[in-house]
Amino acid sequence: MGQWSVYLIRSVATGRVYVGASGDVPRRIREHNAGKVPSTRRDRPWTLLEVEPHADKYTALRREKYLKSGAGRAEIRHRFGWNWQSP
């Protein structure tokens, strides 16, 4: 099984931060910027902020879920000094 990663992207247009998990981050970013992801389509273009590698899909999805929680959003705000903007 391949390596999975959690990624953070930020909208150039609105400043919104999106957290996702993927086994192929470059492909996934292309999909976000091509408008193929409904939840991020309106805020294009996106730039990659950070990639966290994980050993497997399970741990990546757990980390993604945490970063989308209140505590995870606070961690992102603290780390980057930005406000979280919900969709």
Q: What is the pLDDT of residues 50-82, one digit of tens each?
A: 999 999 999 999 999 999 999 999 999 888 876
| Spatial separation of the C-alpha atoms in residues 40 and 75, rounded to whole Å | 21
pLDDT of residue 84: 52
What's the pTM? 0.89
Architecture of domain 4-78: 3-Layer(aba) Sandwich (3.40)
Question: If pLDDT is split at 50, 70 and 90, which confidence band does 31 have?
Answer: very high
Question: Which of these, 41, 42, 50, 48, lies nearest to 72 by C-alpha position?
Answer: 50
| Spatial separation of the C-alpha atoms in residues 56 and 19, rounded to whole Å | 17
Q: Which residue has the tokens 């879920």?
A: 65
| Spatial separation of the C-alpha atoms in residues 64 and 51, rounded to whole Å | 11
Strand extents, DSSP E, 35-83: 46-54
